Amino acid sequence: MNQFFKNVPFVKYEGSHSTNPFAFKHYDANKVLMGKTMAEHLRMAACYWHNFCWQGSDVFGGNTFDRVWHRPMDEMAAAKMKTDAAFEFFTKLGISYYSFHDVDVSPEGNTIKEYIRNFSEMVDVLEAKQEETGMKLLWGTANAFSNARYMSGAASNPNPEVFAYAATQVFHAMNATKRLKGENYVLWGGREGYETLLNTDLKRERAQLGRFMQMVVEHKYKIGFEGTLLIEPKPAEPTKHQYDYDTATVYGFLKEFGLENEIKVNIEANHATLAGHSFHHEIATACSLGILGSVDANQGDAQLGWDTDQFPSSVEEYTLVTYEILKSGGFKTGGYMFDTKLRRQSTDLEDMFHAHIGAMDTLALSLERAVKMIEDDQLAMLIEQRYAQWNQPLGQDILTGKHSLQDLAQYAANNDINPQPVSGRQELLENMVNGYIYR
C-alpha cells in the first residue's frame, strides 16, 4: 500500500519533542484517559469528499490540485483508483474511521438505473477495502444537493418526483451504510430551505421534510440498522434560509413530527458560527436536549462570512467542546469527523497529511485538557453552588408544580423576600479554564 503517497511513512506518535512533520506530537492512540484510550474517546474520521473529490476550485477560480485519480479516464476506473488512494491515505494516517456521500465513491451516471448499478459495484469495493485494512465507517450519507435537480431542495422540492429521486438515493445509501457496518447515517439537507418567500409555501415544505424523515426512520427499523440517525444543522449557504438552522430549530422540528427520540444531531463547528452561535453553545445545547450524536470537527475564518471548512487548530475552542461531550458521557456511536479541506494553495499530496496530523494533535491536546477539567471538577462545583437554592424547598416546590403564580406572589409578599445580586464570577471562571488549557 504505497502507490499514491510514496514519500509519506506511516504516521506514528513520537511525543511533543519530535520534529518529524509526519509524526503525532500529542495524539497517542493507546494512551488511557478516564478508562478509555484516546482513540476510543475521539473516534476520529477523515472525509472522502474534500480529500478525494474536491479539486481545489472555488467560485472565483478553477482547480488547483493535480491528483492522478482526477485525470481523464473511465468513470468507474477513476472511482476505483480514488478508493485505492483513499484507503492508502487512511491507513498511513492511522485514523480509525472514514465517512462518505454516495456520489463521492461512485459515478452518479446519466440515469437512476446507472446510479444504482454503479453504487452497488462500488459498495462491493468499499467492503473489500474495509476488510483488507480494518478501516471502519463512522457514517454514510446521500448527496441530495449537488445535482441541478435539487436546486429547489430535495425533500422540500415542489416536484414529488425529485422527492422520490432523493428517497431512492437515501434508500441505497442507508442500505450501503448498514452493509458496511456504519455506526451512523447522516441527513444533511444542503438545499432544504428557500431563496425567496415569494415562491415558497413554508408549511407545505416543512410537512414534506417531516414525512421524508419519518420514512427514513421507518426504513431504519425495516432493515435493522442499529446505528444512529443524524441531522446536521446549518443556517444558510447555499440557500438563504435553511429549515435546519441550528440545534434548537432541529429539536423543534423533531418534536413537531414525533422524531425527538429517533434522530440526533451532527454538529459542525463552522455551521455553528454561521448561525451566530459559538461551537461551544451548539454542543452544550445538544447535550442539554439529549440529542448530541456526532461532530464535524472544523473551524471557520473569523474574517470570512462563509463555510471555509478549515482544519481545527484551536485547543481553547475544542477543550470546552470536549469538556461538554465528556460531561454528557462521551460519544456513543458518533465521533469527531474532519469535514475539512486544504487551502487551495496547499497543493502537495503531503499537505493532506500535515493538515490531518495537526488537527488530530489539536483534538488530543483538547481531550487531555478536558479530562483535567472533569477530574478536578472545579467548574461543575461552582455551577452547582450557583444554582444550589433550587435544591431547597422553595425551588423544588416551584419545579414540581406545588405553587401557582398567585401562590408564589403570596409567598413573596408574606416572607418579604429581598433577593440580592450574586456575582457570576465570569472572569474567575475564564482564568480557571485558561489554567487548564495553558499550564
**Omega prior to 421 cis, within 30 of 0:** no
DSSP letter (8 states) at residue 24: E
Buried b (16+ CB within 10 A) or exposed e, 108-145: bbeeeeebbebbeebbebbeebbeeeebbbbbbbbbbb
Q: Nearest CA to 238 among 338, 146, 342?
A: 146
CA of residue 334 relative to chain centroid, distance: 8
Strands 32-33 and 36-37: what pairing? antiparallel
The neighbouring-strand residues paired with 294 are: 266
Distance CA 249, CA 271 (A): 13
Distance CA 57, CA 103 (A): 18
Rounded Cα distance between 57 and 272, Å, is 24
Active site residue 104: yes
Find the Cα–Cα–Cα–Cα dihedral 223, 225, 228, 230, rounded to 10°.
Answer: -40
Q: Which amino acid is at 306?
A: W
- Given the residues 28, 102, 104, 307, the one annotated as active site: 104
**Residue 255 CA from chain centroid, whole number:** 21
Non-local (6+) Cβ contacts of 192 within 8 A are 153, 154, 155, 156, 205, 209, 239, 242, 243, 244
Among candidate residues 138, 133, 102, 82, the one with its CA nearest the CA of residue 297: 138
For residue 101, CA distances in Å to 73, 157, 393, 417 come to: 21, 20, 53, 59
Q: Is 361 a catalytic residue?
A: no
Residue 107 DSSP one-character state: -
Residue tagged active-site, from 101, 172, 281, 356: 101
Which grid cell is 312?
481545527
Catalytic residue ranges: 101, 104
